[in-house]
Amino acid sequence: MKRLAAFVMKGPWQAGLVIAGFLCLSFMMPLVGLLSSAAFGLVVLRQGLQPALTVLALSIVAVAAFGGVVLGSVAAPLVYALLLWAPTGFTAWVLRYSRRIEWALGAVMIPALAGVLAFYGLSSDPAGFWSDRLFLVVQPLLDQAPADFDAETARAGLRAAAHYATGFVSAGSALSVFMTLMLARWWQSLLYNPGGFRAEFLELRLNPAFAYAVLGCGGAMLLAPPALTELMWNFGLVFVALYLTVGIAVMHALLSRQASRKFWLAGIYLLLFIIPQMAVPVVLVGFTDAWMDWRRRGSASA
């Protein structure tokens, strides 16, 4: 990874080659697109906006050529590329000039919340929109299901999930952008400030205003009419992603101070992967950190 980051930093042509190259590979291996975004984020973090725009222009030309020759379309790969690069570039710019990782996290999550609000404002039936698209994906599988499979129950589950799909999509997109930014920041730390990323991430702490916004959403869920309650639930999913990130930072800070505790940190990651419900206590740790300041308490008891 360090060699890759060093190659990106050699010059605009090298950076454009990596950014566009990984973007083109992502049409076969989707997760590779995160490396493309991280490389662009690294350029923004280290060199600023103006050099990054030069690299962006070179990358756009390369992707357009790839789209025209290989895919037979220029517009589609360019739209896809900008959807990957623009959010990471913006949050990297915020982090570069604020030097505060919590500001970058806010720059990811606030647009995600605004996206949920905008979708509910513009769509007359958000759940119906997602339900139609989920059925397009799942219906071929249901048609091939065994005779004893309860397809109607599966359809009912999809219709229920559609009410929260806006929040899931917004939260997942925001987490993806922030993870990509953190990869770019780690690369920058490897090259120019060894150990700096770890110290920065372990101190991630949000403004308490976010926590009070969560409490406000919770109150609205209890008192608001059903249509507004659904909107609050979708906001809540974005807040879950927000405080999952903070909770992971807190757990790292508490458990990585001593070698004997690192085993527990690995266990938490394993449980999160195997049992997704384990995210709930991590989210609660991140949320309550606004008042409890778990890292300070952990330092005092150590």
pLDDT tens for each residue of 128-168: 899 888 888 887 877 777 777 777 787 888 888 999 999 99
Non-local CB neighbours of 130 within 8 Å, separated by 6+ positions: 161, 162, 165, 166
Report the C-alpha dihedral over residues 34, 39, 43, 44, rounded to 10 degrees: 0
pLDDT by residue (tens digit) across 165-206? 999 999 999 999 999 999 999 999 999 999 889 889 988 988
Distance (Å, rounded) from C-alpha 61 to C-alpha 78? 9
Query: Residue 42's pLDDT is what?
Result: 97
Quote the mean pLDDT of the chain. Answer: 89
This prediction has a pTM of 0.90
Report CA torsion sign: 44, 253, 292, 297. negative
Q: Give the distance, in angstroms, between the CA of residue 132 and the centroid of all CA atoms in the same chain.
A: 25
Of 81-85, 190-194, 210-214, 265-269, the least confident: 265-269
